[in-house]
Structure 1
């Protein structure tokens, strides 16, 4: 016999009142993303559509699904001739989350481990390309496995430890048939943090992000990274070198990296990884104004074409979707970016970069409260940590757009403590100080911003306004005036 088991936590009314739903909920932000994307699409007459591919996306995905079914049938017939790890036993693959082992030696450890396993399960269950089995204490015995309709393709096993001032969660993604470890994730949080719900959320999100991405790679390629995939050695080396320098590349090295990737793509025109890496590099060049106006337009067109082609080839790839999401946001196609970012989050609900870009789209479309909630959700997940400054900046920016300088200040200060980026965060901080009446601090912040971004004036300090809402433009003008009051040159 088979069936379903529904489980629910039961709490008294008094307990419910003192809970912290904003942290306790597994992830409310993606629901907001989908709702806002739908609403924005209905209002898209305020700006031009990105391209014809968006309207045909549903049809293409249906065709892709049909083609995938045919491919599965063909591969099944040829299975004896193929390596066993090139095809899953079923589609979608089944992932079993094992109960987290408590090796902390802390009285709270067992409760923490159980809660983390539940949060990890909840997040993985929202990924629409896998099926998830709720936590079990141990692997099934042979007689138990025989009674299951279909054994899982993967197990996720984790261990919670307490070391000094930190909780550390280690998790492994294991192929059940071969025992091969496909991914290892480890994340630590401050044990002195007074909010245990936040600790549990960040531990689950930290490992969940790594495991979701690895599962996505396995599903998209059908093989592990050790096999090399479909990217030849020369192209792979070019991609690795260029990708490693995208965020830190100087203008002098930019042309060399672009040439390297263009050559790799010329050698392998169907190489999706090379196309995505080139588009990401070109997007960096556009943002840093390293192109002439004509060259920037050509680079944007080439990046869009490469990303659309990559999306057709891999419509469920996190790497492709995330890069396209960034591209659409960087080129001010905010409605379209919400749609693509929502798709990214349906494959990795803990993707902090996608959440930040969703918040950015909401901000530019004048939905300040939605943006604030999304940035705060990214902060609760805190994945990846390297992008932490972005959602801290986003929370401060959203507060400033709603004229809440006092609330904005600590978030902006924390963001700048990580990185001052191009100097704009200092100028936003100056506006917050000016609005809060801290005049000396405002002038000092403007001078630091101008040192990092010389030549900035009231005419060029704001990002491009194309496709932004009137509500956004009104709030942005108020902030720019505060910067001028703090010492930013008017022109």
Structure 2
């Protein structure tokens, strides 16, 4: 007997919108025909056009409401907001007890699809959220909120955990705030948290010209405009456009009020002062919620070419601000009871920025994995996960670095097929290619990254590393210096200094190499690879006691390191590169590092 194949069940991830008419039974009891006619007209004039305009489809009508499906939570919320606004306009003249008002619930979930219906918990949650919405209101789940926050131009009130009928676990709900009175009504039933602006949202206020010279105004405005443009390239950033920002030029401003008006978490303000042949730039980053000063810096530079100086100042600021903003977002997300996918992404980036120790890297990779579990479509979390695999692979923390590098390459190739202009992903792919003995291809990827983001200092440093693999260590320092010019206090600058040290070893300038490795350790004393090459260099120079001390310091952080792991993970087949690798291996042996 031939066994029949099971029927394939079609499933997909959708944004589900459930709506019904508040008080429908009463309205029908009072006047069936008028209610039916008005409902049909509102569906035709307001609901159907809004759903169609935003790429949705009405799955079915339910007598007093309907069920709709959208490919995007953003489009679902926009459609609901549009038809709710239109319905209010069409019914405003009617007596309140005769007015038709929809309640709307929206959820993102995996659904079973049939030709004329959809099923599953995702649908049930949307329907239950609709039941707790106010008449004329919209209530969404936390899964939908994660997708739409900062993208739909409306505010949300956090209603906290809701126990919904026939839903096993509590669902965190958010209400679209259309006016303060309706928000207050919702708050009577649930905790109303402060309306939160988008994560990593910032406005760069016009810098003040303290030079007393009106002719310097163009330079000061140029710094503001260029910095606004460059910050917009930061992953997941929400940057207020320069035209809006310049409406505050020359005005005394309340930074908390600006945060409220523009819906931003951070304000960057600064000043420029020219004195003789020097230029001083002061900047500070402020939290608009608390008014706290989160970070400040000052640049004091001699004036040569003003336009080159402007580019240099903007690049340094953009790189430092990316680190500061990432750290602030990670701290915020740690306080969240229900971190979103992007919250977890920022936590992972913050761990990567600390140091490349086994513990920190495990924390980072775990955060990225959790981010992808919450939202498998989170491109930036995929990139972060690939970064974690790459770093573990090149830092001699695994006996199977080849598998980790292959995994990183596969992830990044997939990311770039979905987001071909992701500069950071291009740079990481370049680093992966360099690490697997394809330096020319790696350089091309890094150059592509720089074409997309001129401030991506790491791309310059990776090109310098590629020169090592090509046996051209004499060229490494120039590329690393370019990275340091763009980001002199970069969180990864200790690695860049190590690249120069390795290049000096390659060209047999061991004493100079020693100085670079010591500077690297001073910047970040928690980076094990640098200790191992420092130990090797000291041993090659005959300082065996110091070499042994450096080796022990590295092994205390990464006890699994061995010379065999180093040789297996040392990429490149250029004769000059191989000779330098062999010298390092011999130095490590003399320093007492285990053979493995």
TM band (smaller chain): 0.5 to 0.7
- Give the number of the structure whose residues are more often helix, by fraction: 1
The 5-angstrom pairing of residues 12-51 of structure 1 reads none
Partner of residue 423 from structure 2, selected from 318, 326, 331: 318
**Compared CA separation, residues 426 and 187, structure 1 to 2 (3 A):** same
Cα contact 1:443–1:487 (8 A) shared by 2: no
CA distance in structure 2 between the partners assigned to 1:249 and 1:430 by the alignment? 18
Contact 2:389 2:405 in 1 (8 A): yes
User: Which residue is 2:378 aligned to?
Assistant: 271
The 5 A counterparts of 1:193-212 are: 203-209=313-319
| Change beyond 3 A, Cα 1:340–1:478 | same
Show the counterpart of 2:283. 170
Provide the C-alpha distance between the structure 2 equivalents of 1:366 and 1:205, rounded to a whole number of angstroms.
30
2:271 paired residue among 159, 162, 178? 159
Q: Partners in 2 of 1:274 and 1:403 — Cα distance?
A: 41
When residues 396 and 264 of structure 1 are mapped into structure 2, their CA distance, relative to the original with a 3 A threshold, is closer
Correspondences of 1:473-484 after superposition (within 5 Å): 473-484=578-589
Query: Following TM superposition, by how much is the alpha carbon of 1:272 offset from its aligned partner in structure 2, in angstroms?
Result: 1.1
Show the counterpart of 2:516.
Answer: 411
Q: Report whether the alignment pairs 1:449 with 2:551.
A: yes
Per the normalisation by structure 1, the TM-score is: 0.54
Calculate the aligned-residue CA RMSD, in Å: 5.5
Higher deviation after alignment, 330-339 or 351-360: 330-339
- 1:341 and 1:313 mapped to 2: Cα distance? 18
Q: How does 1:458-473 map to 2 (within 5 A)?
A: 458-462=563-567, 464-473=569-578
Q: Which residue among 349, 353, 364 is the counterpart of 1:243?
A: 349
**Bigger relative CO (Cα 8 Å, ≥ 6 apart):** 1
CA contact (8 A) 2:465 2:476 kept: yes
In 2, Cα distance between the equivalents of 1:421 and 1:364?
25
Establish whether residue 379 from structure 1 lines up as the match of residue 484 from structure 2. yes
Task: Assess if the C-alpha contact under 8 Å between 1:311 and 1:321 holds in 2.
Answer: yes
- Relative to structure 1, the CA distance from residue 456 to residue 194 in structure 2 (aligned partners, 3 Å threshold; closer, same or farther) is farther
1:341–1:297: structure 2 CA closer, same or farther, 3 Å change rule? Answer: same
1:204-260 deviation per Cα after TM superposition (whole angstroms, max 9, x unaligned):
43125468999xxxxxxxxxxxxxxxxx96322332333333455875786676566
Deviation at 1:447, TM superposition (A): 2.5
Paired residues for 1:48-447 under 5 Å: 102-103=209-210, 159-160=271-272, 167-170=280-283, 188=297, 191=300, 203-209=313-319, 234-246=340-352, 247=354, 258=365, 261-262=368-369, 264-265=371-372, 268-287=375-394, 293=400, 299-383=404-488, 385-433=490-538, 439-440=542-543, 442-447=544-549
Note closer, same or farther for the CA distance 1:397–1:321 as it changes in structure 2 (3 Å cut): same
> How far apart, in 2, do the equivalents of 1:406 and 1:285 lie?
29
- Tell me, in whole angstroms, the C-alpha distance in 2 between the residues paired with 1:237 and 1:269: 14
Give 5+ residue unaligned stretches, structure 1: 1-77, 88-96, 130-137, 140-155, 173-183, 215-231
Q: Displacement of 1:320 after TM fit?
A: 2.7
Contact 1:205-1:350 at 8 Å conserved across structures: yes
Q: How many residue pairs align between the two structures? A: 352
The Cα offsets for residues 449-478 of structure 1, whole Å up to 9 and x where unpaired, read as 233225755544457233342221112323
**In structure 2, C-alpha distance between the alignment counterparts of 1:185 and 1:206, rounded to whole Å:** 17
Give yes or no for contact 1:434–1:486 (8 Å, CA) kept in 2.
yes
Q: Which residue of 1 aligns with 2:94?
A: none
Name the CA shift for 1:126/1:266 in 2 (closer, same or farther; >3 Å): closer
8 Å Cα contact 1:392-1:412 kept in structure 2: yes
- Provide structure 2 residue ranges, at least 5 long, that are not aligned to the other structure: 1-77, 83-147, 153-203, 234-245, 248-267, 286-292, 325-337
The Cα of 1:268 is off from its aligned counterpart by: 3.6
Larger radius of gyration: 2
Change (3 A) 1:385 1:112: farther
